[in-house]
Structure formats: C-alpha cells, structure tokens
Amino acid sequence: MLRFLAKKIIVKNMSNVKDLDSHYLVNCIPIRDDVVVRRAYGIKIEDESGKVYYDFFSGIAVSNVGHLHPKVVEAVRKQLERYDHVSMLYYSDVVVELAKKLAEVAPNKLKKSFFCNSGAEAVEGAVKFAKKYASYKGRSGLITISFYGSFHGRTALTLTLTGQGKYKAKLGNFANYPGVIHVTPPYYYRFGGGMDEKSFGLWAADYVAEVIDYFEPDSVGAVIFEPILGEGGIIVPPDTFLPRLRRITEARDIPLIIDEVQTGLGRTGKMFACEHWSIEPDIMTLAKALGGGLPIGAIVTSEEISSSLEPGDHFSTFGGNPISCAAALAVLDIIREEKLVENASSVGEYILNALKELEDDYEFIGEVRGKGLMIGVEFVKDKDSKKPAQEIAQRIKLEMLKKGYILGVGGIYKNVLRIQPPLIIRREEAEKFIETLHETLNVTKMQS
C-alpha cells in the first residue's frame, strides 16, 4: 500500500517531460538527444529553454520541405474542413490526385500507387507485390535478396531484410522471415578488396547474379536495394553497380525493388536517387519526406506488377489517409515550385566539397561521401587500419549539439556522422555549419 502511494506521489510530481518519458514510454526507443522540443519551424528546432538548433537531420530525413511549411499546414487545414479518414473502401479525390502526381514524377514505367503509413509498411507491401507477381507467373518466388548494411524497417519481414545484426541481435528469433538472403553491399571503402571502384561495382552486381542463378531465378521473388544506404552509413554505390544490377534482374524477370524511403523526393539532388544511374525499378518504396511531417508510405509500381494483384490482395485501414495525402500533394508542389531538388544538389555539392577538402587533414576521417543533401563522414581510428571510431562520431555529434546543430550518427559500425538537413537550407546556413564543424573537428583533433 505504502509503495503504491509513494509511486502515485512520484508520478504526480513529475512535471518534467524527460521524467515522464522514462516513466511511461516503452524502453525500446534509442537514447534521446538532450532536446525537449517546444517548437519546430523551417530548418530550426527550439527547445523548452528557448535554445534554437539548426536541424541537420530533418527528423531522420523527413522534413525535406522544412518543419511546418505554410503550404503543408494550409493543405492539411483545408482537407480537414472537407473530410478526414473515411478509408479506401470509398473513392477519394486527394488520393487519386496524389497517385496521378506520383505517376508523373516517378521513373517512366512506375504508374500505379498503393498508399500505406510508413516506410516499413511500404517495403513489406513491395515484397508482397513481388511475391504475388511471381505466383502469377507460376514461380515460387520464395527468396528475397537483400544487402548487408541495408536498413528496411523494424517489422518481422523488414527487420529480416535489414542487413545489420545490431538491430536484431537481442530480439531472439523475431527477425527470421523465411527466404531472405543477404549479399555483399557495394561499399567500396570497406569491401573494395584492392579492386578499382568500377570493377568492384560490377563484381558486387555479378555476385547477385551468381546467387540468383545458384537458387534458380524462378525461386527468387525480388531483389531489394537502397540506392544510397542511409542508416548503413550513407554508402554511395560505384556508378557501375546499379545499371549492372538492373540488367541482371531484368534478364531474369525478377522485380527490382528500389527502397527510396530515405533517398526519395529530392534528398540526393535528384527527385529519386535511382535517376543518378538512369535506372527504372519495377517497384519503388517511398515514405518519410512524402508527407511533409505526416505519416504516409507509398508503393509505386508498374502496370504489369499491378495487374498481377486482385481486389482484396492488399489493404490498410489508414492507407490513403486524406490528410496525409493532402500534405503529400503540397510537398510535391513545394519541391517543384521552390526548386528544392536543384537546391539539394547545389548546397549539397558545396557541403560535400568543403568536407572533402578537410578529409586529408584529419587522421580520424576515413571517408566523406554522399549525394545532394545526404552526406556522411566516416570516422576511423586511423586511415591505415580503418578501424571504426564510434566514439569520435558520437563526440562530434554531441559537441555540435552544444553549438546548436542537430546531426545524426549511423553506419554499420555507428561511426558515420549523418548530415541530412531540410532541402530548403540556404548556402549561408551551410557555410556557417561548415565553419562550426571545422572548429569542432579541430578541437577533437587536439583532444585525441
């Protein structure tokens, strides 16, 4: 009884968000940065003490159009005055308008959309579509080929697809969906093995062909790949890799799923990252930035794959939610009107080049890489051993936080600083950021 009363008193006294967070939220969320959010707008986040941060992580690559873009807010408000959730059991104008717009901007043959609520749901659905296509063609399609270092989500199938042990190590047999096979990622810096970059790209794609042929093409339902690995450490494949992988999968009529959940919608300086290598996937997954801060996911696919599905094969209660679709329509307009793809390309190029210039000055910088506003700095103990330096990435992230910059850390070895600001960022803001990061790198150099 006394213990119960004591607990009640403690809970009553907890006015602090951080205390309430640790008391009431399930203990599975990654350790939070010490920021209690009061407001977010544009490229900035303000905490409860009034300190303003530049958001260089965009809520994990979501806020491409910035936080609370007035056009997104207006689109949501207007939609709420018309109708909210009704479900896709009825026809809805905003849903079809969004599907039409996606068909206009997506790679040529991707004309059909299915809407869901998150990245994991989009990936899970994409594999389901590919498997249905296999069965429609009279094949088993049991195997799905994914890549080590990839990240595709946290549900049973998507976590199985995710090629990073650290996300599954302590989860028993949860991430054990049958038929998933992992292959070597086109991560030249770590796995190049003495080859030149072009040859390595071809080798990595040809290895996928060998795996497909070993199991026989009829048993492979799909190959899934992130065109730039995001969580895995902003890994940009050699230019030879994706065109070759496309030819290999096409020749065997195996759907290539390109997971653009993180790379899509302008992030890499193209509307979709697969455009950097002029390839068209059979299925593309989107989420994150699409809703401008509201939850939405999309599977965009070809007429052919779409026609292998029948009414009732797939559905989601909230899929095609009109509020999220209205926000997504505004996001697509903003990206075009404000030329955010072009801005991501030019400001991204500035940041990438500025950091590349610093690469040789620091023994602990292994590699700077990226495209557009998806940039990673991989930290190592020293350039020769390339041993991952997780603690340096973490230290720099925390120092930058003190100086008012929110950044991410990722990578297979958690040693990659992730720089992914909203695409509305201005050149002057990027210059200030580089100045601050340079200072921080110097302090870290002196201390290490």
Ligand X SMILES: Cc1ncc(COP(=O)(O)O)c(C=O)c1O
Binding residues (CB under 6 A) for ligand X: these are 60, 118-120, 123, 151-153, 226, 230-231, 259, 261-262, 287
Cβ distance to ligand X smaller for residue 61 or 392 = 61
| Minimum CB distance to ligand X, residue 154 (Å) | 6
For residue 155, give the DSSP letter. Answer: S
Q: How far is the CB of 287 from ligand X (least distance, A)?
A: 5
Nearer to ligand X, 150 or 308 (CB): 150
Nearer to ligand X, 42 or 264 (CB): 264
Would you say 419 and 60 are in contact if contact means Cβ atoms under 8 Å apart? no
Least Å distance between CB 67 and ligand X? 18
Residue nearest ligand X by beta-carbon distance: 119
Structural tokens at position 162: 């995710």
Nearer to ligand X, 119 or 233 (CB): 119
CA distances from 409 to 362, 389, 414 (A): 19, 12, 6
Place of tokens 């007035």: 70
Q: Name which of 141 and 233 has its Cβ closer to ligand X.
A: 233
CB of 421 to ligand X, least distance (A): 16
DSSP state of 266: T
| Residue of 351, 286, 366 whose CA lies nearest to 119 | 286
User: What is the closest distance, in whole angstroms, from the C-beta atom of residue 201 to ligand X in the complex?
Assistant: 20
Comparing C-alpha atoms, which of 265, 181, 194, 189 is closest to residue 227? 265
Burial class (CB in 10 A: 0-12, 13-18, 19+), 309: middle
Q: Which is nearer to ligand X, 262 or 308 (CB)?
A: 262
Question: Which residue from 302, 242, 249, 245 is spatially nearest to 270, judged by alpha carbons?
Answer: 242
| Token pair belonging to 218 | 């009829």
Q: How far is the CB of 359 from ligand X (least distance, A)?
A: 25
